Structure 1
Amino acid sequence: IDGRAGDDPELRERAEYISKVTGDLRLEGFAARLRKRDGSTNSIEGILSLAVNKPPRDWTDLDVDAALVAVADLSLAF
């Protein structure tokens, strides 16, 4: 699994487990994106676009705010 120095291996381990067992496709997608994140803009956009159900090219300011709220909800479920 790819990671960066100082990364949280426990988070990646939990994400790997969650991405396979919940039955909630959105939560599993969130976990899969967390597991593969690398700190790049594309990685962050992937997480946010999953949360808002829209590709980054179609975002408005309200979509960014909605994505942040949705990420908080997904994080609680995670």
Structure 2
Amino acid sequence: EKRPQLEAALKDKGIGFGIVYPGPMSTQDASPDYLKARVGGETAQRICSSVLNLPLFPYMKEDELAEVVDVVKKFYS
């Protein structure tokens, strides 16, 4: 429920993030060819609408990581 506000806090600090799961698999355009039944339902939709991928990569610098952690900690405190 707080994802839009967290997105705004990250954007305000110039921190990138991702929305990898925009909705359940059964709602994706390509899924009818691969799924025999509608799956997911309300639980899947709720989870997909709340997931936000924070930046994390092999050569992330310590200060970059600290900035991400700081923004998230401040947001939830």
Instruction: Decide: shared fold, TM above 0.5.
Output: no
More helix, by proportion: 1
Instruction: Look at both structures and tell me which one has the larger radius of gyration over its CA atoms.
Output: 2
TM-score w.r.t. structure 2 length? 0.32
Higher RCO structure (Cα 8 Å, ≥6 apart): 2
TM-score computed with the length of structure 1 as normaliser: 0.32
